[in-house]
Amino acid sequence: MSRFDIPANIVEQTRLAHSIFLLTVNAPAIMDSANPGQFCMLEVQDDNSRDPLLRRPLSIYKTGSNGKISFLYKEVGKGTRLLSKRRPGEIIRVLGPLGQGFRLIHDCPSILVGGGLGVASLLLLAQRIKQPHRLIVLIGAKNASEIPTIEDFSRLTRYLHIITEDGSLGQRGVITELLNQTLQKITDMAQIYTCGPWSMMKAVYHMARKRNIPCQVSLEAAMACGTGLCLGCAVPKSNSQGFLHVCQEGPVFDADQVHWG
Amino acid sequence: MSRFDIPANIVEQTRLAHSIFLLTVNAPAIMDSANPGQFCMLEVQDDNSRDPLLRRPLSIYKTGSNGKISFLYKEVGKGTRLLSKRRPGEIIRVLGPLGQGFRLIHDCPSILVGGGLGVASLLLLAQRIKQPHRLIVLIGAKNASEIPTIEDFSRLTRYLHIITEDGSLGQRGVITELLNQTLQKITDMAQIYTCGPWSMMKAVYHMARKRNIPCQVSLEAAMACGTGLCLGCAVPKSNSQGFLHVCQEGPVFDADQVHWG
Amino acid sequence: MINQKKTIPVCPDLSINIGTLRLKNPVLLASGTCGYGMELDGLLDLDKLGGIIIKGLSIRPRSGNPPPRLAETPCGLLNSIGLENIGIEVFIRDKLPCLRNIQTSLIVNILGNSVEEYFEMAKRLDREEGIEAIEVNISCPNVKAGGIAFGTDPEAAASVTHAVKKATGLPVIIKLTPNVTDITEVARKVASAGADAISLINTLLGMAIDIKFRRPALANVFGGLSGPAIKPIALRMVWQVVRAVDIPVIGIGGIITPDDALEFLMAGARAVQIGTATLIRPSTAEDLPAGIRDYMRANNIKNVENLRLPA
Amino acid sequence: MINQKKTIPVCPDLSINIGTLRLKNPVLLASGTCGYGMELDGLLDLDKLGGIIIKGLSIRPRSGNPPPRLAETPCGLLNSIGLENIGIEVFIRDKLPCLRNIQTSLIVNILGNSVEEYFEMAKRLDREEGIEAIEVNISCPNVKAGGIAFGTDPEAAASVTHAVKKATGLPVIIKLTPNVTDITEVARKVASAGADAISLINTLLGMAIDIKFRRPALANVFGGLSGPAIKPIALRMVWQVVRAVDIPVIGIGGIITPDDALEFLMAGARAVQIGTATLIRPSTAEDLPAGIRDYMRANNIKNVENLRLPA
Ligand SMILES: Cc1cc2nc3c(=O)[nH]c(=O)nc-3n(C[C@H](O)[C@H](O)[C@H](O)COP(=O)(O)OP(=O)(O)OC[C@H]3O[C@@H](n4cnc5c(N)ncnc54)[C@H](O)[C@@H]3O)c2cc1C
Ligand SMILES: Cc1cc2nc3c(=O)[nH]c(=O)nc-3n(C[C@H](O)[C@H](O)[C@H](O)COP(=O)(O)OP(=O)(O)OC[C@H]3O[C@@H](n4cnc5c(N)ncnc54)[C@H](O)[C@@H]3O)c2cc1C
Ligand SMILES: Cc1cc2nc3c(=O)[nH]c(=O)nc-3n(C[C@H](O)[C@H](O)[C@H](O)COP(=O)(O)O)c2cc1C
Ligand SMILES: Cc1cc2nc3c(=O)[nH]c(=O)nc-3n(C[C@H](O)[C@H](O)[C@H](O)COP(=O)(O)O)c2cc1C
Ligand code: FES
Ligand code: FES
């Protein structure tokens, strides 16, 4: 487990939609060891200021050539707002790659289910799937502007299905409908990988369990360290015996391990 | 007394020397009512961060055309460091003009004595002196790079004398020598206006008092509000009876009022 | 999430009561950070506020502590002004007449070094028109008890409350110091002694050191910590005291945005005071009533007291 | 200004003593923010530090509080981990063997719900090799005394100290909670009861409210506030306690930079602990010894104790 805390040069900061940004930094060491589903902790703020105090966790969206890694993020509060104001040429400290990513299960269809910005942890996974002809990607969102990076996925699979609540892109409806349609067509064993809002992942997990399909989920929790030091990122275990720690044992878990409430 | 708290557009941010900057913002209302020796309180930081918490006081160095005002400042700590990173096009909140500036005394030679960045509060004064042929400007500094805006003064008077401790500009020595030379040549009544380090102003005052020349000093103190609300910017009165408040009764005082310690 | 309920929008009522005092909204300026009011001329429209609490007054003028009196800390401000003020008589003569014209409630903050001083001042203010309530700062040293602050000794706090209540018919707000083990103990004593309301918190005792000059940053060594840094502590104390006494609580500590104010109102505060934020941006308080109203409207909450969270 | 003196540069000695414990420099990692040490592998060179203080251990494993357990505040962090830990036996079996290899002093932090638990744990640790001192967290609820923290009751704090001292020959450091009216009272009691050193401060009790979801931000409602926000309070308490007791004091609270550490050492702390800063940037502590040394050299200060300011 190699992790690096790097003062990284910002290479690109692009607004893709109203509040969605793609940030690319130069961090060769992190790039080299990044696995799908892992994340980094980013110092959003200048060193001369301690507010906000904590770094922000972001999934590794892309690894480019020449040591570049990209993050796909949404401006939701003051940390991401400050982050979005950082400009190319500025230095930003990035700690990663962190956590346990997805375990790649080959030899069966891979179904990736992303809700909104949940796609941020799925692209690297989609790229690493060994049998691209058995890669199915399902993406759901409120509207088209929430998922501005669809082409990144369409390049990787013919089986890309999109659904939006307002019908502005793909089908109209919610992602569980897509998953239902997909699962009805699947006859052999499969593996579901999902990332998105808690309630969506919960629904995905229940559908998977009904069909006995293993399901890996990528969880979020408020984090202070991202490295297992503080024990702050707890999520209840399914057996009600204590807690999982998202940054260290996760962020990816077998959905069975999690107490979904 | 009109004061304005304006979200001002940054027009220029120029590094004049290693740690000295000229910041120009667009703030017409403040420009219109600015008097020599007055200052502004600047929010150095983005609104999404509360550290540093306080604004920073800076003297109004220049008022330009089209509602522009400029500040000449030195990077000394985290506030000024953050300020120096703000770029043209960004918005910065500026509150001013604040305080009691210099009282202009006409009909006699005006001797302006500036130490280092103390010149920041003297340019506007030099411009407003009604009898430019009786304007004498003495500037002292450690070295030339501490006083990168000499031309602003040389444009206004023939009687500009410069002294640096290392001789890198003008004479070699300290400002009191210059003042001594000057005072020996002055026969009639005069008025001294000074701004610089405390110890320098103290020496200037003592020289002035010996010759019975009135002396106005521009003081600094740690400030929270700059508007008389907090009573934090206290400086002991000469009669040891309580305190002067730099932001409200000053920053310019008759040197006689101050307890020099 | 409450703000997704689709109901007929209410018109929120921002007015509140503190004892017999009625404020048009729950936003006040905190003592010591708004001078005597006039300093804010042109920078803040006082009329938009629920009230203003004047700089703490003592029986005689005080010149305060020597400088440096201020030090900035992470998200905080240390001050050791030393309660500099013009004294109650000069205030009544020079400041009060103008203050009578403002369209917001005027509350006077007092401080004393003995129970008698508090009594005298409250009695004196009771005679003057235009003052709507008295806020009592009990963070001051009790000279008779060897200089321990009244506010850190529940019995002494109760004595001050008693004395002030006896001296005046005006609503009496006791302002507590947070530098205690159990804030609810002091609050209960003060409530039983007849206080009409409690405001908290005053500043936390802190210090900073200037490592360049190798000396404490404040001439007085210790100072009071205020600003956003203390908000979590203030909020916790407000939450505790609201659940310990039956009188209204006014929350203070690090409030800058409407969201900050809402945190305190949800903790159960009846009103809030804005201190350090006014120093940084004089107009801060002006925007809070509208911000609070917007939130209440969006969440279909009719009046301020309904913001309070259960438990 | 001292740093303008022109004298022969000294070679500062950073080593310090805490009772019989000798540390190579005064920078330690604070309990609860460095896990069991191994979590920092590759991110921080432990060997460069004076010591590391392990996550607080209890007699049996504890699973801690339900989430959310963290909330960010201005320059601060609220946590309600609830003292989750693997328990003393698992620690000794699984973690201690590896920790024996690190080239820095290992201090174990313990917590209990009764004097007996503290006694048992200290006795248990006394038998193990590789542990150089015990730090006792007395911010825990005293179950027998109705749940008030040991640390807020000077007598209870003294009892714990007594018990732990009786149980072990290792240096005993008592870690105080700042949530008290008079920190010097607790410190004096603990010193008289035989503590070899005092460390302070633990976190300040605070809370935050999530106004979007209209509930306390932490599931546990209250949490402990740490980080730069609390530095002025920590520094003040260190200053007070250093001047109230004769045993060494270890300063904790919001330290990030060498300048922060120097403030505590000037207040009179013998050493410092780095907590929240390690969470934010794991390597923080590594740079502090060099930063402190640079300052000492520039100011011609020979050893850490000479940093202390008079009065
Ligand atoms: C392992 C991990 C990977 C993540 N990857 C991504 C990513 O690739 N792209 C992306 O846009 N976001 C991602 N997130 C979420 C991201 O970290 C948060 O949106 C961000 O920290 C919010 O910071 P802020 O200061 O802008 O918002 P805040 O002001 O802190 O909060 C604003 C709002 O966001 C909520 N929020 C804050 N932190 C989190 C969190 N960790 N999880 C869920 N809600 C939160 C708050 O409750 C609040 O409602 C990830 C989170 C984790 C734990
Ligand atoms: C009325 C007034 C007008 C001023 N005009 C100018 C100006 O035109 N140009 C300019 O460069 N500076 C000016 N100053 C000083 C300027 O305000 C400070 O340098 C600045 O606030 C420092 O902020 P900082 O965060 O960078 O430094 P900090 O990190 O706060 O402090 C760094 C160092 O500077 C010292 N310092 C901090 N504030 C002050 C202060 N107010 N006075 C003296 N020393 C201080 C500290 O003791 C410390 O040693 C003025 C100050 C006042 C009161
Ligand atoms: C400069 C300053 C002066 C103060 N003076 C007084 C005072 O005279 N009387 C009083 O009761 N509180 C005084 N306070 C405390 C404030 O009223 C308030 O309780 C405290 O600052 C916390 O609120 P804040 O974080 O919003 O500033 C003062 C605070 C500051 C910063
Ligand atoms: C997440 C977290 C967990 C902590 N756990 C413990 C603990 O188990 N035992 C203890 O004595 N202190 C614990 N503390 C307190 C720290 O050791 C330290 O006293 C406090 O955080 C103040 O220092 P700081 O501002 O540098 O973080 C914890 C602090 C944090 C932030
Ligand atoms: S965020 Fe600190 S342990 Fe997971
Ligand atoms: S800085 Fe607040 S009164 Fe002068």
DSSP result, B204-247: HHHHHHHTT--EEEE-----S-SSSSS---EEEBTTSSSEEETT
Band of residue C6 on the pLDDT scale cut at 50, 70, 90? low
Looking at the predicted structure, is the pLDDT value of residue B210 above 50?
yes
Q: What confidence score (pLDDT) does residue D140 get?
A: 83
A45 CB neighbours in chain B (<8 A) are 49
pLDDT number for residue D186: 97
pLDDT category, D305, cuts 50, 70, 90?
Answer: very high
Residue C172 near residue C164 (C-beta atoms within 8 A): yes
Phi, psi of D203 (to 5 degrees): -75, 155
Q: How far apart are CA C39 and CA C53, in angstroms?
A: 13
pLDDT of D8: 64
Do A121 and A63 touch, CB atoms closer than 8 A? no
B78 and A51 in contact by Cβ < 8 A? no
**C228 interfacial to chain A (CB closer than 8 Å):** yes
Chains touching D by CB (3 or more pairs below 8 Å):
A, B, C
pLDDT tens-digit readout, A77-122: 999 999 999 999 999 999 999 999 999 998 899 999 999 999 999 9
User: D76 and C232: CB-CB below 8 Å?
Assistant: yes
Give C146 or C72, the one with higher predicted confidence: C72
Q: Is A189 on the interface with D (CB under 8 A)?
A: no
- Residues 6+ positions from C101 with CB-CB distance below 8 Å: none
Looking at the DSSP bridge assignments, the partners of residue A161 are: A138
Q: What is the ipTM of this complex?
A: 0.96
Chain B residue with minimum CA distance to D229: B51
- Ligand that lies nearest to the alpha carbon of residue B250, given by its number in the listed order: 2
What tens digit of pLDDT does each residue of A219-257 get? 999 999 999 999 999 999 998 789 999 999 999 999 999
Q: Is C110:C52 a contact under the CB 8 Å cutoff?
A: no
| Distance (Å, whole) CA A200 – CA A142 | 12
Return the ligand number nearest the Cα of B228: 6
Diameter of chain D by CA atoms? 63
Q: Where are the alpha helices (DSSP H) in C43-141?
A: 88-90, 96-99, 115-126
Catalytic residue among D34, D75, D98, D140: D140
What is the enclosing helix (H) or strand (E) of D128? Answer: none
Return the pLDDT at A1: 66
Superfamily assignment of D16-307 in CATH? Aldolase class I (3.20.20.70)
Torsion sign, CA atoms D162, D164, D166, D170: negative
Which amino acid type is present at position D55? K
Distance in Å, CA C204 to ligand 3 centroid:
10
Contact of C198 with C174, CB cutoff 8 Å:
yes
Choose the mutation target among C38, C73, C279 for the interface with B, i.e. most B CBs under 10 Å: C279
Predicted confidence (pLDDT) at residue D104 exceeds the cutoff of 50: yes
Q: How confident is the model at residue C9 (pLDDT cuts 50, 70, 90)?
A: low
Q: What is the pLDDT of residue C7?
A: 56
pLDDT of residue A133: 84
Q: CB within 8 A of B184, min separation 6: which ones?
A: none
Q: How far apart are CA D63 and CA D47, in angstroms?
A: 30
- Closest residue CA from atom 29 of ligand 4: D32
Mean pLDDT value across residues B132-151 = 92
Yes or no: say if B87 and B148 are a contact pair by the CB < 8 Å rule: no
Hey, how many other C-beta atoms are within 10 angstroms of the C-beta on C133?
24
pLDDT value for B187: 78
Say whether residue A47 is in contact with chain C using an 8 A CB cutoff.
Answer: no
List the single residue in D with minimal CA-CA distance to B48: D74
Q: Which domains does chain A have, with CATH numbers?
A: 4-98 (2.40.30.10), 110-257 (3.40.50.80)
Cα–Cα distance measured from residue C140 to residue C110, given in angstroms and rounded to the nearest whole number? 10
**Could you give the CA distance from residue D277 to residue D297 in angstroms, rounded to a whole number?**
25
Predicted confidence (pLDDT) at residue D1 exceeds the cutoff of 50: no
Question: Which region holds residue B242: left if phi is over 0, alpha if psi is between -120 and 50, else beta?
Answer: left
Nearest to D57 by CA among D106, D22, D21: D106
Judged against a pLDDT cut of 80, whether residue A192 lies above it is answered with yes
pLDDT tens for residues D242-275? 999 999 999 999 999 999 999 999 999 999 999 9
Residue C1 DSSP SS3: coil
Residues ≥6 apart with Cβ < 8 Å to B174:
B140, B163, B165
Which among D41, D55, D72 is the nearest to A53, CB-wise? Answer: D72
Supply the DSSP string of D215-232, one letter for each residue: EESSTTS-EEEESGGGHH
Q: Are D248 and D270 in contact (CB under 8 A)?
A: yes
Interface test with chain D among C77, C177, C236, by most D beta carbons within 10 Å: C236
The mean per-residue pLDDT over the stretch D91-96 comes to: 96
Tracing tokens 């000695």 back to the chain, one arrives at D13
State the DSSP code for C68: P
CB nearest D236 (choices: C180, C205, C259): C205
Nearest ligand to the CA atom of A120:
1
- Cis omega (within 30 of 0) for bond into D12: no
In angstroms, the separation between the Cα of residue B223 and the nearest Cα of chain C is: 7
Q: Do D71 and A222 lie within an 8 Å CB cutoff?
A: yes
- Residue D187 Cα distances to A66, C192, D191, angstroms: 57, 32, 6
Query: From the CA of A195, how far away is ligand 1's center (Å)?
Result: 13
Is residue C34 part of the annotated active site? The answer reads no
* Beta carbons within 8 Å of D34's beta carbon, 6+ residues apart: A229, D40, D52, D53, D54, D55, D278
**Long-range contacts of D142-148, Cβ-Cβ distance < 8 Å, separation of 24 or more:** D142/D113, D142/D114, D143/D113, D143/D114, D144/D114
Give me the pLDDT at residue D6, please.
55
- D244: closest CA of chain A, how far (Å): 32
Distance D56 CA to ligand 4 centre (A): 9
Neighbours of chain C (3+ CB pairs under 8 A): A, B, D
Mean pLDDT of chain B: 94
Cβ burial of B150 (10 Å; 0-12, 13-18, 19+) is middle
Residue B117: CB within 6 Å of ligand 2? yes
Q: Which residues of D touch B51 (CB under 8 A)?
A: 74-75, 228
Q: C-chain residues within 8 Å CB-CB of A51?
A: 74-75, 228
Is residue D293 predicted with pLDDT exceeding 90?
yes
Is the Cβ atom of C251 under 6 angstroms away from ligand 3?
Answer: no
Distance CA A50, CA A70 (A): 25
CA distance D263 to chain C (A): 6
Q: Is residue C276 lining ligand 3, measured as CB closer than 6 Å? A: yes
Round to whole Å and give the CA distance between C24 and C32: 22
Residue whose CA is at the smallest distance from ligand 3 atom 23: C253
Cβ-based contacts under 8 A for chains B and C: 104
The pLDDT assigned to C1 comes to 43
Mean pLDDT of chain A: 94
Q: Is the CB of B58 under 6 A from ligand 2?
A: yes
Q: Does B2 contact chain C (CB < 8 Å)?
A: yes
Cα dihedral D28, D31, D33, D37 sign: positive
- CB D63 within 8 Å of CB D84: yes
Of A46, A52, A82, the CB nearest to B82: A46
B49–A45 CB contact, under 8 Å: yes
Say what percent of chain B tops pLDDT 90. Answer: 88
Q: How far is CA C73 from CA B184, C239, C256, D78, in A?
A: 48, 26, 17, 18
Enumerate the residues of chain D whose CB falls inside 8 A of the CB of residue C212: 1
Residue A249 corresponds to which amino acid? E
Please work out whether the CB of residue B55 comes within 6 Å of at least one atom of ligand 6: no
Q: For residue C142, what pLDDT is reported? A: 76
Asked whether residue B169 carries a pLDDT value surpassing 60, the answer given is yes
pLDDT mean over A211-225: 96
Whose atoms come closest to the Cα of B39: which ligand?
A: 2
Q: What percent of chain D has pLDDT over 90?
A: 93
CA-nearest residue of chain D to A230? D33
Is residue C1 less than 8 Å (CB to CB) from chain A? no
Note which residues in 77-116 of chain D have CB less than 8 A from chain A: 77, 79, 81, 84
Q: Which of D31, D35, D103 is nearest to D274 (CA)?
A: D31
Confidence check: pLDDT of C4 > 60: no
Is there a contact between B28 and B5 (Cβ–Cβ < 8 Å)?
no
